[in-house]
Structure 1
């Protein structure tokens, strides 16, 4: 078999160095072919009479990013998945059972299948900046190459389960404390540390750290008690009916954790059943949609270095804080110093959470976030982000004062949630550099940013905007300039239907519960309060001319009275320290509530696709999942339509049109294209 990815070299001390460099990729991944080739290389190493074997990546990006996810989409059934898992486990077992010391030399990322491979080695030596984790739950599965067994064995269940159930990686120093890594050194010392470890063969960390508590927890009684606790904790975060993978992992460990060999097999069976499920296939699809959006920012452009944000309210202040966290110099302008101070305080809190183990990094981020009441940063900024009140006249007045002061190649971006770019651009002499850069609340959690092009926006400005959004670790979505753009255009009928039901006398709790039972991360009434009733009102008014919804008078009254939702402490719910008061409905009887909510959303999505608001159904699904949290396990709005069946949905719309009126009427021409 010809070596494509792996190359075995032997040094002067007779230590084997098995290099991995998957061709044509920026990061190493483990495909079936790569694993088969590894098996051949291990056979060669076994017969070479080596003193030890070091697994090393030749990629600058890291060790191994995980399994080759694209192969998951090609798995037809559970049996095929089981064969794949069994083959990988067999190769990893060959590595684990070698009669010489083996070591994984880790830099950068070591994730998923890559970490499972590393766990099959006797030792793991990592650079200080390495990141190790099991993100499989985000794809609807859990480690299936023997990783769950080895992680629990080497880290103890108290450390291993949170790592696998959360999907969050840990840095090398924490991994060392948890027993996952044996040695942590600066990158320049990696190879020296590997050689020293191979030649001296110290007792692995996990053997030194095994405690009586770990042994007790792996007893039948211990597993039973801890599994109950883990299920309770996990249910507080995800619904088992929608995301079964973490619960399947807990179940496999509880039932088979006392027998290593049986747990290997049962791990493979459970993961195989999961990987062939619609949930996993939908989550894998979203994984690739995320990559598709990221790729839009990978263009060579003039880099943005200085960002000037105008408007230090919730959105503007948080945009500024996030950009500073990502390494940009940011000047933050507002008419009110107290508003700026509040924004900076929120940023400080955010930095304290994200960078809690690195006070220097916290201070560096704070130093990059500069108050600028006078707006002096306008003249130096490469990107100016306007995030002021949603009013066309006020925004245009600002633009007229800004344009003469801007650098000739600076971009002017508006965070408007729905005002068409072409209307805003009417007062500019150079409308080609105006575009929409629509963030979502909360900025630190919502991945999506809509990039909105006007008729005259030039390609260079758009490319720089895409690159910038990717640089701040967000997902750029190109959308057409039209009222509401994509996300708010589809979301607003859903929210307005919820408000209509409140007017009809249906409790907000029952409405929210129906949405949560569909798989939405938040109910529509709570969402309206969180977005802000003033923002909902502004967007709803913008959309009135193209929708069948009329803004209720009470909503306008509430906004004029300052009853704005969560930010004012009172909306549909009353809030105390950011939490809604009053119990959520426990009833699972929704009547037509769920259909009324979801059908409005589906109908509007089809219209948007027909009008070319986005280029295709994949971008629409990406926008709705990453911009609104639309039930990820369903794969997106258009994926849900396809999986449910267009005929069934159209029949439901027709029935609801008869009962509730023309707002449920579907466009025959638009639906025909789906």
Structure 2
């Protein structure tokens, strides 16, 4: 066997190891499933006291099904056959005549969790990197290897639905609290815990009464309607059918395991071969390509120095601190630094939800108006206003004080790096790290390189990008790079529609109904109208764009969007006050907006 092997110890316990060849993580391909089936048959012939399934990968247990096998799958019968095969293999695992234990460290996601649920017992590591969950709805499907059947039976209907709908990952202790795992232990005690479970066979978790009552047929329809209302606040049925299909599947089949298993196979196969799932799978694979870009494995940055305490600089500094870096934040204004630190505390409190962790993150973020952090920094990020001369002058101050191998990065959104590097002693060390607003929510990071940028610097920038959990997109130094090159004409088209008399809320509604997460007018307000104006002025000649008079007027009067409290919309507590959005939307609006965007991608 290439990916699985087992041995039987002196206590007659079979230890089944999974270690997928030529892969950094275990994933459940058809070959992996078929090998597992053969191994279970071989182990059964030895009649052991029990079997323990464990991963030899440092990355974790099993990261899920092989998504690559789903790409381009448009034959529903082929999809049903693959899903049915997994059902049969996991059922054989569940029905072994001896107990089975899954030892979980690192990733245990999707199909990996479904495999673990087919075992008699589950032991999770107490390490902080444990991630247990069902991410399937992100791919336009829901758990299809009997995950809906076993999870609802084990942890209760509401807990299981919340886990599947939210895409939330649990650590070991969180999983034990709801009964998803039986024990939490340090990895050094894994084998002892497994032996105890096999020899003593303790009783299984029983969901609380409320969790069981939610599955009663008379109650299910009400729960389904309520959950659909909650889902509709985040995603629409037309764009993301999977959460709604999951709820319908549960509503019609929960309480009958056989019917639920059959319904699961049919519904997941239908979703998997649909347009939405195939598009989301394509996006997922493209994201993996970005994450797979090679960096510099020897570059281990620990200290980041950010210059610029404004909205972007402050958020970049906070994000780096959240990700474990020591960060010094430089700005001439104590008020700007104070405001940035306050925003950082809000981010930490929301993301970490633990006073000790929030305190540690705050301790890592140091206001530094005297720039004392520059000589210690492994990465220096400039995030000041968009002015070529100001940036050049800053680099002349920074460069002599930086470590020779430190990365010098600019967060410019529109200025070509060749211009910015003109005054540097070593221009090849400059690279662009173009973050997007809001930094904490936008996963993409443009890594911008000139022809003269040192290849080693690019590799370090890619490594750093992945260390802060961003998707690095390597682009050339050209006007607008990639995202702004495509985005700016789209925003300008929306502003032109507004000048023609279409209400801002209607323009945004047209884009959102098409499938955009946010309308272009609100997006411009969020980015900052001053930033939009600056980028439009710099790219106007290249893209044949005229800066709208309305945009110039608003910026001149201090209406900069969300950050100033007013732009195209007025904002209260950070929320846009929209008027006129209730009127019907002409389909031609979306065609005009999206058509402009598509034309730019072709250009």
2:238 is matched with: 241
1:386 is matched with: 382
1:662 is matched with: none
SS in 1 for 2:317: helix
SS in 2 for 1:110: strand
Does residue 286 (structure 1) correspond to residue 283 (structure 2)? The answer is yes
The Cα shift of 1:588 comes to 4.5
Distance 1:226 1:297 in 2: 47
Distance 2:585 2:571 in 1: 26
SS in 1 for 2:46: coil
Query: Aligned-pair RMSD on alpha carbons?
Result: 1.3
2:117 is matched with: 119
Is the CA contact (8 Å cut-off) linking 1:16 and 1:54 kept in structure 2?
yes
The Cα shift of 1:534 comes to 0.4
Is the CA contact (8 Å cut-off) linking 1:537 and 1:555 kept in structure 2?
yes
1:432 is matched with: 428
Distance 1:150 1:179 in 2: 12
The Cα shift of 1:307 comes to 1.3
1:204 is matched with: 204
Equivalence map 1:457-496=2 (5 Å): 457-496=453-492
Distance 2:40 2:405 in 1: 56
Does residue 554 (structure 1) correspond to residue 550 (structure 2)? The answer is yes
**Structure 1 residues 484, 322: CA separation in 2 closer, same or farther (over 3 Å shift)?**
same
Distance 1:254 1:470 in 2: 41
1:57 is matched with: 55
Which one of 396, 399, 402 corresponds to residue 400 of structure 1?
A: 396
Equivalence map 1:48-87=2 (5 Å): 48-73=46-71, 75-87=73-85
More displaced 10-residue stretch of structure 1: 119-128 or 520-529: 119-128
Is the CA contact (8 Å cut-off) linking 1:131 and 1:171 kept in structure 2?
yes
1:610 is matched with: none
**Structure 1 residues 66, 591: CA separation in 2 closer, same or farther (over 3 Å shift)?**
closer
SS in 2 for 1:478: strand
TM-score, scaled to structure 1: 0.87
The Cα shift of 1:467 comes to 0.8
Equivalence map 1:307-318=2 (5 Å): 307-318=304-315
Which one of 588, 592, 597 corresponds to residue 596 of structure 1?
A: 592
Distance 1:502 1:155 in 2: 51
SS in 2 for 1:56: strand
Does residue 409 (structure 1) correspond to residue 395 (structure 2)? The answer is no
Is the CA contact (8 Å cut-off) linking 1:293 and 1:477 kept in structure 2?
yes
Which one of 312, 316, 326 corresponds to residue 323 of structure 2?
A: 326
Is the CA contact (8 Å cut-off) linking 1:297 and 1:470 kept in structure 2?
no
Is the CA contact (8 Å cut-off) linking 2:490 and 2:596 kept in structure 1?
yes
More displaced 10-residue stretch of structure 1: 425-434 or 81-90: 425-434
2:259 is matched with: 262
Instruction: Give unmatched runs, 5+ long, in structure 2.
Output: none
2:342 is matched with: 345
The Cα shift of 1:45 comes to 2.3
1:178 is matched with: 178
1:611 is matched with: none
SS in 2 for 1:376: coil
Number of equivalenced pairs: 601
The Cα shift of 1:360 comes to 2.9
Instruction: Give unmatched runs, 5+ long, in structure 1.
Output: 608-674
Distance 2:585 2:485 in 1: 29
SS in 2 for 1:361: helix
SS in 2 for 1:144: coil
The Cα shift of 1:136 comes to 0.7
The Cα shift of 1:363 comes to 2.2
1:182-222 residue CA offsets vs partner (Å, 9 max, x unmatched): 111122111111111111111112x2xx3332332111111
Is the CA contact (8 Å cut-off) linking 1:27 and 1:64 kept in structure 2?
yes
Distance 2:587 2:295 in 1: 47
Is the CA contact (8 Å cut-off) linking 1:134 and 1:163 kept in structure 2?
yes
The Cα shift of 1:40 comes to 1.5
Does residue 220 (structure 1) correspond to residue 237 (structure 2)? The answer is no
1:132 is matched with: 132
Is the CA contact (8 Å cut-off) linking 1:132 and 1:170 kept in structure 2?
yes
1:656 is matched with: none
2:353 is matched with: 356
Which one of 257, 273, 277 corresponds to residue 276 of structure 1?
A: 273
